[in-house]
Structure 1
Amino acid sequence: MSILRYTIFRFGTMLLTLWAVSALVFLIINLPPGDYLSNQIAELRASGQSAGVAKAEFLRKEYALDRALWEQYMIWIGFLPGPHGFSGLVQGNFGWSFEFDRPVRDIVGDSLWLTVLVNVAAIIFVYAVALPLGVIAAAKSRTWIDYTSAFVGYLGLATPNFLLALILYYYGRKYLNIPIGGLMDPIFEGQPLSWEKIKSISVHMIVPTIVIGTAGASAMMQRLRANMLDELGKPYVETAIAKGMSPSRMLAKYPLRVAFNPFVADIGNLLPSMVSGSVLVSVVMGLQTIGPTLLTALKTQDQFLSGFVLMFVALLTLIGTMISDILLVLLDPRIRYEGRES
């Protein structure tokens, strides 16, 4: 099987998995009793507002919420025609947010790319910090460099993200004049992309990138150090040095390549875990990402909005996993994308 065929195969399995995840997401969203409109109807009836009840009942029929659960799911995905024909996720219709009284597409439009931008920057920070520190700590094992990097790593793991955000915001504003809150100056919100807007986003992203990426960088640095130490203790390392290979060249050519596999494998989990784990950070720091929107949608049982956001996170997970699988095949010749021949 060629790498192209393997890529096509992994893309097909990704789509099937995404379909299964969509069913699971829809089921979990509907596990709590009632929904946004049902709760609203109950409140309106209790207060005697008949006009509001009639509007809510109309919306239930308009968005097929009065049908069986399996029909709601198939209409939401776009596999069955609803009141307006085939109009689901497959057709590009993300649904309607009852909490914000707007289409889901309008609510998440700007926050989607800002979410990806912030978390991609955090991932770059994770790799840029963890790779050199992990390698140096392993190469200088049981020295002050190793102990210092271990202390910094444990400190990064132990410090809550929101607390680190508050500390960095206070001292960043006091000594470096770093702007506080948001991902851009308010004057640029809703404006087309320009050089000034890019500069504003870049400055505002310094603290969020460090806050979101610190814990991941600390954990990955410790894991890389452990893997490197395990490889450095194997006989082939001593053989390579005995044959005259310089320690730095040997380190990069053999142990690092093997120890680097977890870095590549973590791509599939790192991005979605940062998106889901940065919800509280986004609320504290006032970031215009998708995290606060998801929190509001789950609290109010806004099923179309929360369903789309969860599907977006699932899509990130599956894309990241597919990329990591393909990269592992390309980087490590011991890994094969077909079964062992008998």
Structure 2
Amino acid sequence: MILLRFAFYRLLTMLMTLLLVSALIFMIINLPPGDYLSNQIEELRATGQTNSVAKAEFLRHEYALDRPIIEQYFIWIGAIPGPHGFSGLLQGDFGWSFEFDQPVADIVGQALWLTVLVNLAAVLFVYLVALPLGVIAAARSKTWVDYTSAFVGYLGLATPNFLLALILFYYGHRYFNLPIGGLMAPEFEGEPMSFDKMKSILLHLIIPTFVIGTSGAAAMMQRLRANMLDELSKPYVETARAKGVPPAKLLAKYPLRVALNPFVADIGNLLPSMISGSVLVSVVLGLQTIGPALLAALKSQDQFLAGFILLFVALLTLIGTMISDVLLMLLDPRIRYGARK
């Protein structure tokens, strides 16, 4: 009951936060002077293309870009009627991309689930690598195991993702015959999901997962190692050892459970940070994610496309934070009792 009440409260908080974030995103995108169409109008007037200027002016009116910023925002989210009535995010209309000259929904449709797939695979890689290595490094502190894991961790933190992508891009194909570029073979693009298409996607995921997840795994491994060493030095661990508790049971039942709190709390930041940090990797590896579209939209001030993608990343952050809060309540009795009080 407490957990359900807490989850409901966090859901309401998440919706209010998302509304505030959407307003901040829209205002920040519109901070530079002008927009895509007004910049285009200036270029057309400079070159004397008056016919195209009339078309651009018509589009500015059609998408309410000639109205005040506050009014544009409420039309964008669908809270007030625009030139075509109530037609915004709340009604499932994501807007029009002037850069790509097509609806935003058509651009991000397949890219969204591919982005989530790539980054979920990277998050899974981070936890599968960081959890055992961090625990082993702490349990074997000041041995060759600890020094080796520390060296690997620092190497992962110091190597830029795009450089690691280029290295694996070449050697992965040359020595392991891994596919180059994209997230699936060209013949499967636009086709319905099948076993062969899923197999192609999984093969193409190997390099992006390793590249995107390496730095996150290295940082999380070092953090878990530090937390474990702090817990292993506390008196209750010495007491458990003196009572003859087996080492494996001692690690799993007491220090690891406490040290996992920051590990679980990182879920909220890990997924969105990977999405934002994988933009350059997506360009280098030619991945069909929202990264290249976001980069193009920000450069050209394509506000509807950039706004939707940034709002999607913010939504992932809030969902991840909510999941981490619920897991922390399940993991740590002190948080449950604090919520009850």
Secondary structure of 1:182's partner? coil
Contact conserved, 1:137 with 1:146, CA < 8 A, in 2?
A: yes
Partner of 1:221: 221
Give the match for residue 311 of structure 1: 311
Q: Could you report, residue by residue, the CA deviation over 1:70-95 in whole angstroms, capped at 9, with x for unpaired residues?
A: 10000001100001111100111000
Between the aligned partners of 1:55 and 1:218, the Cα distance in structure 2 is: 52
What is the Cα deviation at residue 200 of structure 1?
Answer: 0.4
SS in 2 for 1:328: helix
Q: For 1:216-259, what per-residue CA distance to the aligned partner results, in whole angstroms no more than 9, with x for missing partners?
A: 00000000000000000000001011111111101000000000
Structure 2 residue aligned with 1:211: 211
TM-score, normalised with respect to structure 2: 0.98
Q: Which residue of structure 1 aligns with residue 200 of structure 2? A: 200
Query: Which deviates further from its counterpart, 326-335 or 117-126?
Result: 326-335
Residue 144 of structure 1 is matched in structure 2 by 144
Q: Specify every segment of 5 or more residues in structure 2 that has no aligned partner in the other structure, as ranges.
A: none
Which has the larger share of helix? 2
> In 2, distance between residues paired with 1:127 and 1:210?
12
Partners of 1:200 and 1:337 in 2: CA distance: 48
More displaced 10-residue stretch of structure 1: 263-272 or 44-53: 44-53
Instruction: Give TM-score scaled by structure 1 length.
Output: 0.98
Aligned pair 1:240/2:243, yes or no? Answer: no
Unaligned runs of 5+ in 1: none
1:278 alignment counterpart: 278
Secondary structure of the 2:86 match is: coil
Residues 6 and 337, structure 1, Cα contact 8 Å, conserved in 2: no
**Residue in 2 aligned with 1:173?**
173
- What is the DSSP-based 3-state SS (H/G/I as helix, E as strand, rest coil) of the residue aligned with 1:18? helix
Is the counterpart of residue 185 in structure 1 residue 185 in structure 2? yes
Q: C-alpha distance in 2, partners of 1:330/1:245?
A: 25
- 1:1-342 to structure 2, matched below 5 A, reads 2-336=2-336, 341=341
Alignment deviations for residues 274-302 of structure 1 (CA, whole Å, 9 cap, x no partner): 00000000000100010000000000000
RMSD between superposed Cα atoms in Å = 1.0
Matched letter for residue 49 of structure 1: Q
In structure 2, C-alpha distance between the alignment counterparts of 1:7 and 1:85, rounded to whole Å: 35
Cα separation, 2, equivalents of 1:2 and 1:248: 32
Q: How much does 1:170 deviate? A: 1.3
| Aligned counterparts of 2:185 and 2:271: Cα–Cα separation in 1 | 25
Corresponding residue SS for 1:10? helix
4+ residue stretches of structure 1 with deviation over 2 A? 336-341
Q: Distance in 2 between matches of 1:332 and 1:2?
A: 14
Q: Distance in 1 between matches of 2:322 and 2:339?
A: 18
**Residue 336 of structure 1: CA displacement?**
3.6
- Alpha-carbon contact 1:94-1:104 (below 8 Å) kept: yes
